[in-house]
Amino acid sequence: MNYTVIWLRPAEQRLADIWLNAPDRDAVTRAAHAIDQRLRRDPENEGESRPGGRRVLFSDPLGVFFRVFPDDRVVHVLLVWRY
């Protein structure tokens, strides 16, 4: 069963800013799509755990912090950055 992935407003706005300023917008689009797909399938086993119930995941050129709510089958993307 899939999870619903929700990019919280600050993460969504930061992703838009990254995309607008990216030298390769297609790479940012592909990375965001890959992150969505990975988090929809099995978010509890994606990335690495961090304090406070957060996890971190990388898909070149993006990194994200996210939190999984397994009882609701929801993932919140909290923060995104370009590395």
Average pLDDT over residues 56-75: 98
What does the alpha-carbon distance between residue 42 and residue 45 come to, in Å, rounded to a whole number?
6
Note the pTM of the prediction, 2 decimals: 0.95
**Does pLDDT of 3 surpass 90?**
yes
Q: Encode 27-65: b = buried (16+ Cβ within 10 Å), e = exposed.
A: bbeebbeebeebbeeebeebbeeeeeebbebebebbbbb
**Does pLDDT of 76 surpass 90?**
yes
- For the stretch 17-42, pLDDT in tens is 999 999 999 999 999 999 999 999 99
Average pLDDT over residues 8-14: 98
Q: What total number of domains does the chain contain?
A: 1
Q: Domain range for residue 10?
A: 4-82
Question: For the domain that residue 21 is a member of, what is the CATH number?
Answer: 3.30.2310.20
pLDDT of residue 1: 79
